[in-house]
């Protein structure tokens, strides 16, 4: 549970909670094992039987024993180990996705819970892929997977060595990068066309988007807000931006 570096090296992740584990079993991702109370094993048996060829190992124990093993209180005591999908390139992603493309990129977003919320918003509003910059946390961290409520299992991920360079490659392919930047006197989300190919870039709450990444974006826009508040939590900001993008795309159909 605490060896995140080893998880990354082995390309595995922890799914926590009954809903998240259920969605993992329903997904196309490989599942390694489960750790759960016996009554939950029976509830998941139909899903496990559909994946009998994978030979998934299930360990059972009482919730109190599981909490002693993990070192923290668990609501249901249900855990699963899945395999992270094989890495994919940005070029392959652009080639595979249909226009009008809608991507999201994150820069310096290190809070796993917030990253999970961004992932959930991406899936909820039809984003085709998430680009994870080199200074951001992995969306496959346990807390990120939990906060996404399993939405991460449905979203293609591209992990990048240099987000600024990747945004430049998107521009060369005709895909604009739009920085979600609250400290701008320029346009707001109501003044920009989000119905065409674009990648919306979000930064951390504390420092926002780095200078190099901001300079690589085609433009910077903000959410119109009352003067008493200068910014939103990144999850809330992503919901506002992506709702507007989805609204514009529906109007253009």
pLDDT at 229: 77
pLDDT at 50: 95
Residues 128, 186: Cα–Cα separation, whole Å? 27
Left, alpha or beta for 220 (phi > 0: left; psi -120 to 50: alpha)? beta
Same domain, 17 and 59: yes
Same domain, 129 and 235: yes
User: Residue 208 is part of which domain span?
Assistant: 90-251
Output the CA torsion 71→73→77→82 (10° steps).
-60
Same domain, 116 and 163: yes
CA distances to 107, 184, 222 from 230, rounded to whole Å, are 19, 11, 10
Q: Which of 83, 112, 134 is the last residue of a domain?
A: 83
- Tens digit of pLDDT for each residue in 108-153? 999 999 999 999 999 999 999 999 999 999 999 999 999 999 999 9
pLDDT at 231: 77
Q: What is the CATH number of the domain that holds 62?
A: 3.30.1330.30
Give kind and range of the element (H or E) at residue 226. none
Residues of the chain with pLDDT under 50: none
Residues 60, 41: Cα–Cα separation, whole Å? 8
Other beta carbons less than 10 A from residue 75's beta carbon: 9
What lies within 8 Å, CB to CB, of 139 at 6+ separation is: 115, 116, 119, 130, 132, 145, 148, 152, 155, 157
Average model confidence (pLDDT) across the chain: 92
pLDDT at 119: 98
pLDDT at 7: 82
Q: Which of 32, 67, 83 is the last residue of a domain?
A: 83
Q: Which of 31, 48, 83 is the last residue of a domain?
A: 83
pLDDT at 5: 76
């Amino acid at each position: 549970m605490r060896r995140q570096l080893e998880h990354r090296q082995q390309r595995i992740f922890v799914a926590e909670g009954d809903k998240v584990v259920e969605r993992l079993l329903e997904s196309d991702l490989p599942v390694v094992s489960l750790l759960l109370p016996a009554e939950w094993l029976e509830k998941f048996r139909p899903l496990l039987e559909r994946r009998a060829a994978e030979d998934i190992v299930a360990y059972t124990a009482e919730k109190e024993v599981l909490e002693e093993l993990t070192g923290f209180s668990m609501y249901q005591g249900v855990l699963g180990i899945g395999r992270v999908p094989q890495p994919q390139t940005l070029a392959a992603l652009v080639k595979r996705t249909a226009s009008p493309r809608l991507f999201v990129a994150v820069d310096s977003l290190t809070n796993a819970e917030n990253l999970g919320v961004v992932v959930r918003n991406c899936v909820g509003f039809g984003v085709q892929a998430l680009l994870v910059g080199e200074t951001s946390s992995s969306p496959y961290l346990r807390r990120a997977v939990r906060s996404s409520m399993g939405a991460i299992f449905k979203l293609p991920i591209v992990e990048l060595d240099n987000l600024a360079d990747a945004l430049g490659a998107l521009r060369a392919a005709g895909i604009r990068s739009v920085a979600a930047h609250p400290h701008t006197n320029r346009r707001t989300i109501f003044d920009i066309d989000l119905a065409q190919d674009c990648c919306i870039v979000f930064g951390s709450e504390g420092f926002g988007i780095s200078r190099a990444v901001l300079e690589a974006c085609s433009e910077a826009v903000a959410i119109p807000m009352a003067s008493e508040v200068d910014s939103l939590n990144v999850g809330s900001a992503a919901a506002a931006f992506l709702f507007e993008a989805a609204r514009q795309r529906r109007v253009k159909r």
